């Protein structure tokens, strides 16, 4: 039975989604069908297709009572919208169906696990948010909320834990057929912790352990956890709120955190041996991963930062896009990420140059566009006399550009969208320490109309940013202070 609230959302998006022309959206990044999108949810492989749900407020391009938008794809790049899957229509999720995940049950049904948000009324007119974990079961289009929702509530929390910050379940099925999930939570110290739950059947859940405690190290509340085994290690991804900066590794505000370590499956305790940011650019948050049928661990994040949402006017018809799907691996003890190999299929119109000497500003025939995949390899033209600075500018015309600049002495790569056309004073630059030997650096830069994603040194680091520059700004130029020797390969996408 679909509720009135769900029917209205489905009717609304059907009409209003059609008013957005294809050229007004990214080509191969999933964007909101209409209105607002945040976190990826329920990223799963189900009946021959990838399913992606997302935090969704169809009626305005601002955050509002959360629904789950829905889209499917066969290659992770071309997405087709399906009707809204969940609407806030039960007493336990009246104030929103927050983030969660999905798996296929052995009987072929699709199981969604999400956070139901409601308000509890206290004395003297005060109220407090209550977050619980809920289920919905469906066939890939229509989902029925489970009659015994919520399946995890305040009674399933360790002593002192917050009932208001208890969200974002990520569930998976183990090889032995049992189920696990991890959720974000805030313990008594006010920072973050990840809770670990187990289930025999996916419907009856019990608390197992505090998987890991933040202890005020990385921001405060930890949102949107994901835990998986990769290349012989356990990896925990989470998105902390209220971060303090640490060198060039972490920056102020909402961040992304990757912990690599060991999981004791008997005690349910994770111990990290390495920490790093997931993305070093401006816009990336709340990533979720999937294991593809051919065994790849693929991650998609919300290509946005809560602190810079103002870059796009709320008058626009859509807000929010996902990052490129990225294949993950662990190399040299670090998380590496590269665009999914399916993107290679989209490459056409190759233009290549080798050994170009850049000493001032250079433009190259055929190197331009706003839907491109461009690989640069740079090195000093004269080993005895290394360059001071290299920059590549793109989405450029007389008025606008976005730039990546690299100073080999400091080993710092900077992304700067100050001149991308934004009229807001929020974050427009970010710096990252990168690895360079003798001023050599490899960059893969992917543009898709309204974004740039940069993969440094074959995936050692990634930097993402949205740019809403006029599409006519499509030039690319290179600049060096000193002399750089450069190879460029560029494809249209
Ligand atoms: C992260 C988040 C989640 C929450 C959702 C609400 O971006 O705050 O923790 O479930 O967004 O839309």
CATH number at residue 223: 2.115.10.20
**What does the block give as tokens for 242?**
């209220």
Q: Which of 39, 89, 279, 448 is catalytic?
A: 39
Supply φ then ψ for residue 364, to 5 degrees. Answer: -120, 135
CA of 68 relative to ligand 1 center, distance in Å: 12
CA of 392 relative to ligand 1 center, distance in Å: 34
**Closest to 5 in 3D by CA, of 90, 114, 116, 111:** 90
Query: Are both 433 and 459 inside the same structural domain?
Result: yes
Ligand 1 mutation pick, 87, 98, 253, 322, max ligand atoms within 8 A of CB: 98
Give the pLDDT confidence of 350-405 residue by residue, as tens digits: 999 999 999 999 999 999 999 999 999 999 999 999 999 999 999 999 999 999 99
Phi/psi region, residue 12 (left: phi>0; alpha: psi -120 to 50; beta: rest), is alpha
- What pLDDT does 181 receive? 98
Give me the domain span that covers residue 51: 4-342
Quick check: bond before 213 cis, omega within 30? no
Which stretches of the chain score pLDDT less than 50? none
Query: Are both 365 and 337 inside the same structural domain?
Result: no
Query: Are both 140 and 289 inside the same structural domain?
Result: yes
- Return the C-alpha torsion angle 418, 326, 280, 475, nearest 10: -30
The residues lining ligand 1, judged by C-beta closer than 6 Å to any ligand atom, are 38-39, 55, 66, 98-99, 115, 167-168, 223-224, 285-286
Residue 394: CATH number of its domain = 2.60.120.560
Find the angle CA(472)-CA(476)-CA(482) to the nearest 5 degrees: 150
Query: Are both 273 and 374 inside the same structural domain?
Result: no
**What does the block give as tokens for 409?**
């002495």
Query: Are both 447 and 472 inside the same structural domain?
Result: yes
- What pLDDT does 314 receive? 85
End-to-end CA distance of the chain: 42
Q: Which of 298, 318, 342 is the last residue of a domain?
A: 342
Ligand 1 mutation pick, 32, 223, 309, max ligand atoms within 8 A of CB: 223
- What pLDDT does 296 receive? 98
Q: Which of 314, 342, 370 is the last residue of a domain?
A: 342
Query: Are both 254 and 390 inside the same structural domain?
Result: no
Query: Are both 317 and 372 inside the same structural domain?
Result: no
- What pLDDT does 58 receive? 98
Considering only CA atoms, give the Rg of the chain: 23
Query: Are both 397 and 323 inside the same structural domain?
Result: no
Query: For the chain, what is the domain count?
Result: 2
CA of 285 relative to ligand 1 center, distance in Å: 10
- What pLDDT does 200 receive? 98
Atom index in ligand 1 nearest the CA of residue 55 equals 12
Tell me how far apart the alpha carbons of residues 79 and 53 are, in angstroms, rounded to a whole number: 11
Query: Are both 319 and 424 inside the same structural domain?
Result: no
**What does the block give as tokens for 305?**
């930062």
Burial (0-12, 13-18, 19+ Cβ within 10 Å), 273: exposed
Q: Is 344 a catalytic residue?
A: no
DSSP 8-state code for residue 245: P
Strands, sheet with 326-331, edge to edge from the N-terminal-most edge strand: 285-291, 297-302, 326-331, 334-339
CA of 115 relative to ligand 1 center, distance in Å: 9
The 3-state DSSP class for residue 17 equals helix
Query: Are both 317 and 396 inside the same structural domain?
Result: no
Query: Are both 394 and 411 inside the same structural domain?
Result: yes
Query: Are both 127 and 252 inside the same structural domain?
Result: yes
Q: Which of 300, 324, 342 is the last residue of a domain?
A: 342
pTM of the model: 0.97
């Amino acid at each position: 039975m679909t509720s009135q609230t769900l029917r209205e959302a489905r009717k609304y998006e059907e009409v209003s989604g059609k008013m957005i022309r294809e050229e007004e959206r990214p080509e191969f990044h999933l964007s909101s069908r209409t209105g607002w999108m945040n976190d990826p949810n329920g990223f799963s492989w189900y009946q021959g297709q990838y399913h992606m749900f997302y935090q969704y407020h169809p009626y305005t391009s601002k955050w509002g009572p959360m629904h789950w938008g829905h889209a499917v794809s066969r290659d992770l790049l071309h997405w087709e919208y399906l009707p809204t899957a969940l609407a806030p229509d039960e007493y336990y999720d009246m104030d929103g169906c927050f983030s969660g995940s999905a798996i296929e049950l052995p009987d072929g049904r699709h199981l969604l696990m999400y956070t139901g948000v409601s308000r509890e009324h206290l004395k003297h007119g005060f109220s407090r948010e209550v977050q619980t974990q809920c289920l919905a079961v469906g066939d890939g289009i229509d989902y029925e909320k489970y009659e015994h929702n919520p399946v995890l509530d305040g009674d399933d929390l360790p002593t002192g834990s917050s009932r208001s910050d208890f969200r974002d379940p990520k569930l998976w099925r183990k090889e032995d057929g049992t189920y696990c999930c991890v959720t974000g939570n805030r313990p008594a110290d006010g920072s973050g912790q990840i809770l670990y739950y187990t289930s025999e059947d996916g419907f009856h859940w019990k608390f197992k352990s505090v998987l890991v405690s933040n202890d005020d190290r990385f921001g405060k509340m930890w949102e949107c956890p994901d835990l998986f085994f990769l290349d012989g290690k356990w990896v925990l991804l989470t998105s902390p709120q209220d971060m303090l900066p640490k060198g060039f590794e972490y920056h102020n505000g909402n961040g992304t955190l990757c912990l690599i370590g060991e999981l004791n499956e008997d005690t349910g305790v994770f111990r990290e041996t390495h920490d790093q940011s997931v993305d070093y650019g401006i816009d990336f948050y709340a990533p979720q991963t999937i294991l593809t049928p051919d065994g790849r661990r693929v991650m998609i994040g919300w290509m946005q930062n809560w602190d810079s949402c103002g870059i796009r006017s709320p008058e626009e018809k859509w807000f929010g896009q996902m990052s490129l799907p990225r294949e993950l691996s662990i190399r040299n003890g670090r998380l590496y990420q590269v665009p999914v190999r399916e993107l290679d299929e989209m490459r056409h119109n190759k233009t290549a140059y080798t050994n170009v000497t850049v000493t001032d500003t250079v433009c190259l025939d055929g190197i331009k566009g706003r839907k491109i995949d461009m690989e640069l390899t740079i090195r000093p033209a004269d080993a005895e006399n290394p360059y001071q600075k290299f920059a590549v500018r793109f989405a450029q015309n007389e008025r606008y550009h976005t730039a990546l600049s690299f100073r080999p002495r400091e080993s710092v790569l900077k992304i700067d969208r100050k001149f991308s056309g934004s009229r807001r004073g929020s974050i427009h630059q970010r710096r990252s320490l990168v690895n360079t030997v003798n001023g050599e650096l490899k960059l893969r830069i992917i543009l898709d109309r309204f974004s740039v994603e940069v993969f440094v040194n074959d995936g050692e680091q990634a930097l993402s940013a949205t740019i809403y520059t006029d599409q006519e700004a499509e030039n690319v130029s290179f600049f060096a202070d000193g002399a750089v020797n450069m190879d460029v390969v560029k494809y249209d996408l």
